[in-house]
Amino acid sequence: MKIRFIVNLLSGRRGRVARLLPLLRDFAERRGLGGALFTTEGPGHATELARAAVSAGCERVVSIGGDGTMNEVAQALVGGPVALALVRCGSGNGLSRHLGIPASPLAALDLACNPASRVVAIDTGTANGRPFFNAMGMGFDAEVGRKFSLNPRRGLAAYAGTVLREFAGYRAGRWVVTAGSGPETLDALLVAVANSEQYGNGAAIAPGARVDDGLLDLVSVAPVGFVGAAVLGARMFLGTIDRSPHVRHRRGAAFLVERPAPGLIHTDGECHDEAAAVSIRVVPASLRVVVPGSFADARKSCAVSANPRAAGAGGAG
């Protein structure tokens, strides 16, 4: 099986990936993959490297970094037969945590390179054509993402500090959200659209979201004070934010979100300037991903539960 590793040395807290480089090189050499390890040199380079891997006939491409690296690599693989594998080394690692990818780099590498590992197809989201695989967001969500990207510190503590600093001066915006039931005007701190259930670090913004149901989950958070924000933060880690009276949760295949003026959005934590109107859509089963057997089995179980007829399907043949 032909594999290529794409490594972002800037990912992770305190240069974690850079410290792992000797381990990665040793692993590749022991597996006879010594020439398959490539490091990124800047924004967008991971996508170029992944496209080159596809052209070279690779069957799997391993993203070693955080959600931003994952997003760039996955962009080159959407709609094709090449599978994405993940080694989680970033600050949030939302998609890899949702998929149950092992936290141990060696265990994740073993999973990625095992020909017998399970491969499943997951959905992709797009925001004005920009792909995302874990989550995208606007408003406070995107402002925090922009400030955090400028912070040399990584990790949950650094992210929480950025949230607190930004919250003190942030004002809610007015949004028009159009879904299947028609347009709705609301005041909100943020509007997030999730493919998986969490941002990362176990913070579930959309409890119950699934990456393989052909749907996206839109979550809007009404204006709250410091105490309310602290409660919402706790609810995210408890997986109960959708029970808050300050939170609206919608599920659908497409949304249109409009705001008074152009502004920031983030896709998997990477920030972009975008138009006032943002069209968000799902592309079902468009990315092949290597997953642990436990995730694949749970996915199959959920599919059977969602279709009671399937449980009794089959016959004497």
Residue 296 CA to residue 287 CA, distance in Å, equals 15
CA distances from 168 to 125, 142, 247 (A): 31, 15, 20
Q: Is 270 in the active site?
A: yes
Which residue(s) pair with 264 in the sheet?
Answer: 273
Q: How confident is the model at residue 19 (pLDDT cuts 50, 70, 90)?
A: confident
How far is residue 133 from each of residues 88, 95, 216, measured CA to CA in Å?
Answer: 15, 7, 10
- Across the chain, how many H-helices and E-strands are there? 10, 18
Q: Where are the domains of the chain?
A: 3-116, 130-283
CATH class given for the domain over 3-116: alpha beta
Cβ neighbors of 237 (< 8 A, separation 6 or more) are 202, 203, 204
**CA distance linking residue 181 with residue 250, whole number of Å:** 10
At 34-93, the pLDDT tens digits run 779 999 998 899 999 999 999 999 999 999 988 999 999 999 999 999 999 999 887 778
- Distance, in Å, from the CA atom of 267 to the CA atom of 145, rounded to the nearest integer, reads 10
- Set 72, 143, 197, 270: catalytic member: 270
- Given this chain, do its domains 3-116 and 130-283 carry the same CATH topology? no
Model pLDDT for residues 82-101, shown as the tens digit of each residue: 999 999 887 778 899 999 99
Strands 83-88, 60-65: pairing is parallel
Which pLDDT belongs to residue 310?
39
What's the mean pLDDT in 1-6? 94
Give me 259's structure tokens.
Answer: 């705001």
Rounded to two decimals, the pTM is 0.87
pLDDT tens digits, residue range 179-206?
877 899 999 988 999 999 998 888 899 9
**Closest alpha carbon to 194 in 275, 120, 138, 232:** 138
**Going by CATH, does the domain composed of 130-283 fall within 2.60.40.10?**
no
